[in-house]
Chain A
Amino acid sequence: MNELLASVNSVTLGYGRKVVLKDVTMQLGEGEFWGFVGPNGSGKTTLVRALLGLIKPQQGQIVWHRQVRIGYVPQREALDDLLPLTALDIVLLGRIRKGGLLHRFSAEDFDKALQTMEQVGIADLAHLPFRELSGGQKQRVLLARALVADPDLLLLDEPTNGLDLPTEHAIMELLKQIHSERNVAIVFVTHLLSLAANSVTHLALFHNGRVIAGEIGELLSEQKLSATYQTPISVHDLNGYKVVMVQNRERVQNA
């Protein structure tokens, strides 16, 4: 087990009286690559918002074991196309630190922003308007904005949603590269189990208001997945690429 960053202890999350997730327990360690996988509305983003401190648990607690710098990457649609900002303007915002109400960007901030943009392959886009970039380019800008503050934990909310296959593959490869080069812990939210299965070290499966979390080796078995989703699921190896699929639509009774 890597050094612990955060422990989620029997946490129940929701909005008002509505409970979205119940009794979630998991531990996030340094340098781990997590895939939060589940259908839309299953509570993945709710748990991310709780990790960001935007919503408080109704029960249980989230314990941070040390000061953790979080880099958050929203879905690219979160940024309004009305904004007249360049890609560099967006990345620089990542250099605002705690208590940054009066922050002024220094030459070091600009250097770091440009250097990070180069690392994620968008150095040539620095002075282009963000709203004119493609989906994949926007996602890289948002990734650079999160990375520019050297985070200990990257939280990515469905970064490949709506991207074409080659762009989705390129973003996943970039995430794997960032994970191996920087040893940053990553939480990657997706509704595609196959996508997560080929990149992550740990899985959190969101289903019916519950979360089953653990190392990928423990969870990515046909037996475990079938029991979790109450549907027969098969896991195939296609030239080293894992493909997870539903075997048929018959419900498995007493799984």
Chain B
Amino acid sequence: MLEMLKHDFLRHALAAAIIAGASLSFVGVYVILRRIVFVGAALAQLGAAGVGLALLTGQSPLLGGSIAVLAGALGFVAMPQQERTVSRESLLGAAYALASAFALLFVALSPVGEAHISALLFGDLLAVGHGDMELLAVACLFAIAVHLLAYHAFVATTVDPTFAHSVGIKERRVNLLFYLSLGALIGACIRAIGALVVFAFLVLPPLAGLIWAKGLKAAFCIAIAVASMSAAFGLWLSFAHDLPAGPSVVAVCGVLTFLLAALRWLISLKA
């Protein structure tokens, strides 16, 4: 591990993975509690499509990804609450499928070609520079600050939207803030860690947190710890065995979550 930290680019990669992982897993607890995992998947793919379009048109990938994700988040908030002829889930499925296809098409059509496809899915952690990391950190800090400031409003609308409305919380306004912060976070992370790693951080560490924690704050802490450990061990694994960084981080995250879930299950059997 210490050997890995001697390299500048690996230190940047580690910091970026931990910052992105900790932030995404924090917000991911809400993603699971609100049962909007598919929203997370669709937004991540929209981000990838935005990055692809930016590569094709020679624009900033960070900007392209962020605009696409924020547009998707706004679109989701604008979807009608009452499902009449089609479900929201089916619209999200359609968005996911189309965004995935367009992401790959944009990259295939771009001058840099298919070399970027892997980076689109798993990011380009080892290429994160000092400036990229600062931008990532600012975006993550902004999203987390929004979540900490509006903590009780987010919890109230997650627990019981009707009750939240009855005590005067503007549910649509809170939801807009929630989805914009989620969008900003995904948009900022997509270029560095890619769509699949973003989605993995949104789901796996929060799962571990919710399986173990008796309180919401403990669930956040466990999720952040699992994401940070996965980022560190995943990168070390990648460095030590010359494996791709993104998939290594996801694999470690998955194994860690599975082990924690299995341990919890064993303890519940004994109790």
Contacts and interface: CB of A to CB of B under 8 A. Distances in A.
Interface of A: 15-16, 49, 52-54, 70-72, 74, 78-80, 82-86, 89-90, 93-94, 96-105, 129, 145-146, 149, 155
Contact of A96 (B149, B158, B162, B167): B167
Interface in B141-164: 149-150, 152-153, 155-156, 158-160, 162-164
A119 B69 CA distance: 48
Contacts of B84: 16
20 contacts: A15-B82, A16-B84, A52-B162, A54-B162, A72-B166, A74-B160, A80-B33, A82-B35, A83-B158, A83-B159, A84-B213, A85-B155, A86-B215, A93-B156, A93-B159, A99-B168, A100-B153, A100-B169, A102-B149, A103-B152
B34 to A, nearest CB: 9
Nearest to B169: A100
Contacts of A149: 167
A78 B162 contact: yes
Nearest to A105: B152
Given A100-B169, A101-B174, A72 B215 contact: no
A101 B153 contact: yes
Contacts of A99: 168
Contacts of B170: 101
B168 A74 contact: no
A103 B149 CA distance: 8
B219 interface: yes
Contacts of B160: 74, 78-79, 93
B82 A100 contact: no
Interface string B208-240: 001001111011000000000000000000000
Contacts of A82: 32-33, 35, 210
B253 to A, nearest CB: 20
A146 to B, nearest CB: 8
Interface in B198-213: 210, 213
B203 to A, nearest CB: 14
Contacts of A52: 162, 165-166
Given A101-B149, A102-B150, 11 more contacts: A70-B166, A72-B162, A78-B160, A83-B33, A83-B216, A84-B219, A85-B216, A93-B156, A96-B152, A99-B168, A104-B152
Nearest to B33: A82
Contacts of B158: 83
A89 B33 contact: no
Contacts of A101: 149-150, 153, 169-170, 173-174, 177
